[in-house]
Amino acid sequence: MAVILETERLLLREMTENDSTSLAEILQDEQTMYAYEGAFSQEETQEWLNKQLLGYKQNGFGLWAVVRKETSEMIGQCGLTWQAVQNYQMLEVGYLFNRGFWHHGYAIEAAKAVKEYGFCKVDAAEIGSIIRDTNIASMNVAIRNGMLVRGRFVKHYRGMDMPHLVFSVKR
């Protein structure tokens, strides 16, 4: 598997079907998925993985597996996706990590590398992160990644209206 990005402690690479167990540990954890109103089912987890695999083919990027160099273990996902924000498409740095690896700086380490990739390799003029208004930890990552709040909107997801903040940074 080709490495897309490398940081001091992490490798970011395309996910494969072999990552389904590690991905399920993230997406099927109730506490990790609180901003999504609960854990994903096995079917939703497979759909998520399929969406990333399709994104790699269509866009050349998506959410990548985040792997600790020290252990070769997939601890999360971080990458670029196109997201609809009100009436336009935004290139987003997204990140979601296994709860056992929270509070170790992995999210910001990966997110900074992905932001730079977006500016340098994708030639984006602006990159954002769309975050539910109750997700303080993710907001802190966006702020540490140089982003400011640029807007607000409500997503309707899983039968609920969920206020979100739009963070972004311009090149």
Q: How many domains, in total, are found in the chain? A: 1
Closest C-alpha to 12, from 75, 57, 100, 101? 75
Which tokens hold the place of 24? 């399920």
pTM across the whole model: 0.93
Instruction: Tell me 86's DSSP state.
Output: T
Residue 15 · residue 52 · CB < 8 Å: yes
pLDDT in single tens digits along all 171 residues of the chain? 689 999 999 999 999 999 999 999 999 999 999 888 889 999 999 999 999 999 999 999 999 999 999 999 999 999 999 998 888 899 999 999 999 999 999 999 999 999 999 999 999 999 999 999 999 999 999 999 999 999 999 888 777 888 999 999 999
Backbone angles phi, psi at 126, to 5 degrees: -145, 140
Domain containing 134 — which CATH number?
3.40.630.30
pLDDT tens digits along 138-152:
999 999 999 999 999
Range of the domain at 18: 3-170
